[in-house]
């Protein structure tokens, strides 16, 4: 079964940058669509970014467009989220997730595996 492990969270000042990593243990990682989500205190879970199994197709939530970049390295079984120009409202627990069913579009991704989350805190 697939296991996902996020890392790279921490405390950063507004305007700073962080790179999150999500390492997967599955033997077929290269066939999975991947996504990043976050949940801030008192808020609903939010889709942040997604990337197709090939790495060709990418999606970003409106609130992070132009600031965050999702990428993957299938040889390392890892997906990344580069976060720049961070704002206090980016403070949240960030989760990665895997869609082993290879949904054709971002809207139809079916995330079956989730990591435990990593905390990102952005100070004013």
Q: Which helix (H) or strand (E) holds 93?
A: strand 92-99
Per-residue H/E/C for 46-59 = EEEEEECCCCCCEE
Residue 106 corresponds to which tokens in the numbers above? Answer: 């971002």
pLDDT tens series, the chain, 124 aa:
789 999 999 999 999 999 999 999 977 888 899 999 999 989 999 999 999 998 999 999 999 999 999 999 999 999 999 999 999 999 999 999 999 988 788 888 899 999 999 999 999 9
pLDDT of residue 7: 97
CB-based contact 24:30 (threshold 8 Å): no
pLDDT of residue 27: 78
């Amino acid at each position: 079964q697939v296991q996902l492990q996020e890392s790279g969270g921490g405390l950063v000042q507004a305007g700073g940058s962080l790179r999150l990593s999500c390492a997967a243990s599955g033997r077929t990682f290269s066939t999975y669509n991947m996504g990043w989500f976050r949940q801030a205190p008192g808020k609903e879970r939010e889709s942040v970014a997604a990337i197709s199994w090939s790495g060709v197709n990418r999606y970003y939530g409106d609130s992070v467009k132009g600031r965050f970049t999702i990428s993957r390295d299938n040889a390392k079984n890892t997906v990344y989220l580069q976060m720049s120009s961070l704002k206090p409202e980016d403070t949240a627990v960030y989760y990665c997730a895997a869609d082993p069913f290879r949904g054709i579009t971002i809207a139809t991704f079916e995330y079956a595996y989730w990591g435990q989350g990593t905390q990102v805190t952005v100070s004013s």
